[in-house]
Every structure is written in structure tokens, then in C-alpha cells.
């Protein structure tokens, strides 16, 4: 991701539901890489998954739509989001 891109953003999404132990982080990583995003998907102690993605605003929006869509592994009951400036701290997209 180029930090000089005007449309570059950071998306943090918290996904609630039955999303741990069902391949959700792997699925998210695959979708993010297809969209050219960098970041990570990680399990939280409270059962949610936190997704941080950086890249083009449109691609981050597409990822958010996918996270809310019907084709995710497990069962998503809610998605909260926060948008900000990219930090440039990621290389690739990882499962943490």
C-alpha cells in the first residue's frame, strides 16, 4: 500500500457472533488480499474478531460489506466500524 494514495484509509471492524473457530480469520485474510489490503484479523477474548485493514477506501468498504454479508464462515450478528488514517504498520495481511 502506498502511503501517498489520497484515498488510503484504516478500517477497524469488530465482528460479533459465532466467528471464532470457524475459519473466519482465514476467510477475512483471503478477501482482504484479493482486495489489495494490508492488516490483520485477530480473535478477541470476548469472542469477537477484530479486523484492521489499510488501503484504498473503496476496497476497505468492500471488505466491510463482505464482513456483513451472508457468505462469511460462522454467523455474524453485528459489525461495528471505525475509520481513520492509515498508520502504515502492516506488510501483507495476517491472522493473529
| Cell numbers at 29, concatenated | 485474510
Other CB atoms within 10 A of residue 83 CB: 13
Active site annotation includes 43? yes
Cell of 25: 480469520
* Positive/negative CA dihedral, 62, 68, 71, 76: positive
Q: From the candidates 25, 29, 31, 48, which is the catalytic residue?
A: 25
Active-site residue, 48 included: no
Among the options 29, 42, 43, 48, which is catalytic? 43
Answer for the pair 35, 59: CB distance below 8 angstroms, yes or no. Answer: yes
Residues labelled as active-site residues: 25, 43
Amino acid at each position: 500500500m502506498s502511503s501517498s494514495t489520497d484515498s488510503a484509509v484504516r478500517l477497524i471492524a469488530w465482528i460479533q457472533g459465532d466467528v471464532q473457530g470457524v475459519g473466519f480469520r482465514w476467510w477475512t485474510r483471503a478477501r482482504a488480499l484479493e482486495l489489495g489490503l494490508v492488516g490483520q484479523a485477530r480473535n478477541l477474548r470476548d469472542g469477537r474478531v477484530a479486523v484492521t485493514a489499510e488501503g484504498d477506501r473503496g476496497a476497505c468498504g468492500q471488505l466491510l460489506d463482505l464482513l456483513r454479508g451472508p457468505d462469511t464462515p460462522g454467523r455474524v450478528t453485528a459489525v461495528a466500524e471505525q475509520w481513520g488514517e492509515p498508520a502504515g504498520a502492516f506488510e501483507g495481511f495476517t491472522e493473529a
